[in-house]
A and B are shown apart, each in its own frame.
Chain A
Amino acid sequence: DADVTQTPRNRITKTGKRIMLECSQTKGHDRMYWYRQDPGLGLRLIYYSFDVKDINKGEISDGYSVSRQAQAKFSLSLESAIPNQTALYFCATSDSFGGVRETQYFGPGTRLLVL
C-alpha cells in the first residue's frame, strides 16, 4: 500500500462549488504539505502543517483552506472553486527528525478541473 494517499484522484466540478481534497499518510511523519502544479510551472506551496496544532499559509493560499484532523490526515478545501484553480494537486509529508537530509514524500496527485 502507498505511504501517502490522496482522494479523489480525479475530480471535475463547477465554478462556485465547494470541494475537499483529502490526504492520508502511514509514514508517521509530523509534517504535511499541499502543493499545486500548473503546466510549465513548478510546484507551489499552498499550506503546510508541522503538527496538528500548527498550520501555516504558503505562497498561494488565497481561495484555499486546510484542516489537520489528525497527524495522519490533512485536507485541502476550495470554498468556492474557480476555473483558475484547475491544476494538479499534491500532498507531501516529511519527518522533522531528518535533519539536513530531510526530504518530502509525495502522494500520487489529484487532478482537478473546474468548469
Chain B
Amino acid sequence: KQEVTQIPAALSVPEGENLVLNCSFTDSAIYNLQWFRQDPGKGLTSLLLIQSSQREQTSGRLNASLDKSSGRSTLYIAASQPGDSATYLCAVKSSGGYNKLIFGAGTRLAVHP
C-alpha cells in the first residue's frame, strides 16, 4: 500500500530564505508525482507535476525533483516571500491503476517579513 510522508509538518522562515520541503513515498511504481498548494478557503492548486520518467520540473521560483529509486521528492522554493505562506501537499499517482492520488499530510509554511 502506497504511503506518502511529508517532513517537516510545519516550517516558519524569514522572508528571503531558500527552503526545501520533503516528500517520501513507499512504492516506487508511480505514474507521476505532484506538488499542490492549499490556501484556506481556496482549495488546492497544482504547482508542479513530475512524470515518472522525469527528474525535475521548474516553475518560476519553484523547483521539484524526483528520485523514484529512493522514493523521494523535494520542493525547493527560492527567495521565499510572505505570499508563499500556505500548506504544501505532495501527492503520488501509482502506476497500473486509475487516477487515484495518494496525498501526504502536508507541510504548513509560514514566511514572515
Residues of A within 8 A of B51 (CB): 100-101
Chain A interface size range:
20 to 34
Report Cα–Cα, A102/B101, bound state, in Å: 11
A9, A42, A92, most chain B CB atoms within 10 A: A42
Report Cα–Cα, A108/B44, bound state, in Å: 7
- Selected from B36, B43, B105, the residue in CB contact (under 8 A) with A41 is B105
Report Cα–Cα, A53/B36, bound state, in Å: 29
B31: nearest chain-A partner, CB-CB: A100
B39: nearest chain-A partner, CB-CB: A108
Interface of B is mostly: strand
B41 interface contact, C-beta 8 A: yes
Q: Are B42 and A50 in contact (CB under 8 A)?
A: no
A98: nearest chain-B partner, CB-CB: B99
Q: Are B46 and A108 in contact (CB under 8 A)?
A: no
Residues of A within 8 A of B101 (CB): 43, 45, 104
- Selected from A4, A9, A42, A90, the residue in CB contact (under 8 A) with B102 is A42
With A42-B89, A42-B105 as contacts: A104 and B43 at CB distance below 8 Å? no
With A31-B99, A50-B98, A94-B99 as contacts: A107 and B43 at CB distance below 8 Å? yes
Known: A40-B9, A103-B46, A103-B49. 14 other contacts (CB 8 A): A4-B43, A9-B41, A42-B102, A42-B103, A43-B44, A48-B99, A90-B43, A96-B99, A100-B32, A101-B49, A102-B99, A106-B44, A107-B43, A108-B43
- 12 A-B residue pairings within 8 Å (CB atoms): A43-B91, A43-B101, A48-B99, A50-B98, A56-B98, A92-B44, A96-B99, A100-B32, A104-B46, A104-B101, A105-B46, A108-B43
Residue numbers of A with Cβ under 8 A of B are 4, 9, 31, 40-45, 48, 50, 56, 58, 90, 92, 94, 96, 100-109
Residue numbers of B with Cβ under 8 A of A are 4, 9, 31-32, 34, 36, 41-46, 49, 51, 89, 91, 98-106
